[in-house]
A and B are shown apart, each in its own frame.
Chain A
């Protein structure tokens, strides 16, 4: 066996790949489900926190800042492991899937809150004043005038952060979620061949390259003439 043949056999063994493709495909579905849940709930919670912060209630804002700083500082894996292994001690035993979903959603919400908040602050004060002077209430002004502008400004950092944290679904492999990475690792230990990992990497590309492209499309779509 030449070196080249050994390389191909190690990473691109077609027979092994074909055998474990269905397993990886199942993992792919789990990753997609997890990713969608994390993105939707994380961004929604982040937006909600940013909106609450505009009410400028001192106690609430202090709590939000504490929450945001805490979950931006903690590595996502630490949060997942804490929830999954620490939860049962507190009388709550989430599945690996639920633990990963909640942990990543909370981490994403912390980053998203900061990004949305920066966007809200970047909207000129005159926009608030113009809207309020026509009789719109604070929440109406936020919803119709300020947030549409804030969200547009924050699309680039938001897509970056969302993609980075959604890729963290791979961390679910640590707490027995049979997503892409975990399925690939299982396949490797059964076949004694790393080719399923190549397949797993390809699955991530298939999933995230369209997401990256969608992010770029959203950025151009939401830009408006100044």
Chain B
């Protein structure tokens, strides 16, 4: 499905400092509806911080973020209302260990969207079925493999019917044989037209599924373009060096 013209996420001049260290040095980025934007770059380049600023898990130092027409950084904006419309998937899954898979998915449905138990339960089961875990609704995170846990985390984000989903290294904590199941779910999401921003090192997935690849280094977007260009014919020396390095390994 081709990306729409309307930007869902519009970032201008985004800066973030931790103490005296500036991790984001003025990021401009538009993500259009149904677009899959892939972010690559060496560790410490600011990729994760960029994602975490989008829903204000990190408070940006300067700049502006418009999400679905809402000024995310305005003090008058109800940040909780914005957050429930931006899904987020974490490297370490962050499932609630004291709740079942269904319980994890239902919590925000019940307490944020104020849905009744039966309705929330039905939505949770549908979301778990969507990630191939219909039979694990009653399992606790400790009883699931890493790949299954991450898919529950994706279901937890999807159940709220987000406008976009941010993936922060979703497969980095997984054993190699479990990566495939998570990427499969992400591929299906993309085919269903979900707007996604993905920070990851899964270059094969990026090549196959991304509309656009951003290369970040030292808090800046160094280069961006279609995957064929970034991976095949990078224009910038820093991009070339990074791509060569990961291809060699």
Interface residues of A (CB under 8 A from B): 124, 126-127, 129-137, 140, 144-145, 148-149, 152, 224-226
Other A-B pairs, 5, CB within 8 Å; known A149-B96, A225-B143: A126-B90, A129-B90, A132-B57, A149-B98, A225-B142
Interface residues of B (CB under 8 A from A): 55, 57, 80-81, 83-84, 86-88, 90, 92, 94-98, 107-108, 111-112, 140, 142-143, 153, 156-157, 160
> How many inter-chain residue pairs (CB < 8 Å) link A and B?
72
B140 touches A133 (CB 8 A): no
A133 touches B142 (CB 8 A): no
Q: A224: which B residues are within 8 A, CB to CB?
A: 97-98, 140, 142
Q: Would A136 and B98 be within 8 Å (CB), given that A129-B90, A224-B140, A225-B140 are in contact?
A: no
A135 touches B108 (CB 8 A): yes
A130 touches B90 (CB 8 A): yes
Q: Would A145 and B96 be within 8 Å (CB), given that A130-B90, A134-B160 are in contact?
A: yes
Cα–Cα, bound, A127→B142 (Å): 15
A-B contact pairs, 9 of them (CB 8 A): A129-B94, A130-B153, A132-B83, A133-B86, A134-B84, A134-B108, A135-B83, A224-B142, A225-B140
Q: Which of A131, A132, A133, A149 contacts B97 (CB 8 A)?
A: A149
B83 touches A152 (CB 8 A): no
Q: A127: which B residues are within 8 A, CB to CB?
A: 94, 96
Q: A152: which B residues are within 8 A, CB to CB?
A: 98
B112 touches A135 (CB 8 A): yes
Cα–Cα, bound, A126→B112 (Å): 19
B111 touches A136 (CB 8 A): yes
Q: Would A133 and B111 be within 8 Å (CB), given that A149-B97, A226-B97, A226-B142 are in contact?
A: no
- Shortest distance in angstroms between A224's beta carbon and chain B's nearest beta carbon? 6
Residue of A nearest to B86 (CB): A133
Q: B160: which A residues are within 8 A, CB to CB?
A: 134-135
- Shortest distance in angstroms between A40's beta carbon and chain B's nearest beta carbon? 24
Closest 9 pairs (CB-CB, A-B): A135-B84, A130-B94, A134-B108, A225-B142, A126-B94, A133-B88, A135-B112, A226-B142, A135-B80
- Shortest distance in angstroms between B117's beta carbon and chain A's nearest beta carbon? 14
Cα–Cα, bound, A117→B153 (Å): 27
A126 touches B92 (CB 8 A): yes
Q: A226: which B residues are within 8 A, CB to CB?
A: 97, 142
